[in-house]
Amino acid sequence: MKELIKELTEAYGPSGNEDAVRETIKRHIAGHVSEMRVDALGNLIALKKGQPQSGIEPRKIMLAAHMDEIGVIVSQIDEKGFLRFAPVGGVNPLTLLGSRVIFADGMIGVIGRERPEKPDEFPKIEKMFIDVGAPDKEHLTRKVGDMAAFLRPLADLGQRLTAKAFDDRIGCAILVQTAQELETTPHDVYFVFTVQEEVGLRGALTSAFGVEPDVAIAVDITTTGDTPEAYPMAVSLGAGPAIKVKDRGMLAHPGVKNWLAETAERLGLPYQFEVLEAGTTDAMAIQTSRAGVAAGVLSIPTRYAHTPSEMVDYNDVQNAVKLLVGLLSGPVKI
């Protein structure tokens, strides 16, 4: 599974530019789902048809993970060929200075900063620029509106992995692996790989409207409280996937939350509960689609979220797959 994770995290795919990620996913799930389609916004919707099982009521289940990552977009170009930029999604200026970015055509740039007025001045994006090595504006092939993603390869630290775009390529990898390992299910399971989550949950909103699920689970990352002097949070790397109770955008459906926890206990899998005080996931949009959907979230504990070097625990990832396979193999208990 590490090779799959590497391929997905290193792919180019800031919000609205998810094509390469989508094609990678299509290649990996082909033959493991009954049908695939791409909707008008770019969401990849793959259906694994259920096979009736005695005594189990079939349900329509939607699993969602977003393909897009945070990035930057060119907003202005000066006469010397330096590119001013704006954030795409939640970009933290503290992580930018010296970072490398890559454009869709492979051009690489380095993020620099104007001389600060004070040595300890907090960096601001409006005081930064991208240097692509052009001697002047005339030799530049970039234009306003071009988008770039952060450039950082996956590093395998053994039990821990670090890469850019674990938010939410790790969720995409988990859904792909689940589709591959789920041999049979009594339910119609929709594996939905959404677009534009980082700029407003847009893909989840349209795909949920089209799928009309009975139950939905978003698979995304969550922050942790296990680093030195971290903001207090009862989530740690290696303690199992986290079952969301609440975040800033939603309260998880209690039935879905309990179904996840009871399944983990039945399978002997570690898990933890998550209360996230900032941020939300695709589940917020899904939950409020049409007349409402019973929705929950399975989160992967992640350090250094929204930086070019996010970190996850490989056991948490594998246990998330086992939990989803076990969940989808039996009756829906909500």
- Domain parsing of the chain, residue ranges: 2-69+164-328, 72-150
| Sequence-ordered list of residues with C-beta below 8 angstroms from that of 152, at least 6 positions apart, any chain | 100, 163, 164, 308, 309
Q: Cα separation of 236 and 240, whole Å?
A: 8
Question: What torsion do the CA atoms of 176, 160, 241, 325 make, to the nearest 10 degrees?
Answer: 30
Q: Nearest CA to 260 among 25, 66, 61?
A: 61
pLDDT computed for residue 117 by the predictor:
85
Catalytically annotated residue among 18, 69, 197, 198 = 197
pLDDT computed for residue 121 by the predictor:
86
Looking at CATH, the fold of the domain delimited by 72-150 is given as: Elongation Factor Tu (Ef-tu); domain 3 (2.40.30)
Is 197 catalytic? The answer is yes
Q: How far is CA 36 from the centre of its chain?
A: 20
Helix (H, G, I), strand (E, B) or coil at 153: coil
From the candidate CATH numbers 3.40.630.10, 3.40.190.10, 3.40.50.2000, 1.10.600.10, the one assigned to the domain spanning 2-69+164-328? 3.40.630.10
pLDDT computed for residue 34 by the predictor:
95
- Residues (pLDDT < 50) of the chain are none
Q: pTM to 2 decimals?
A: 0.95
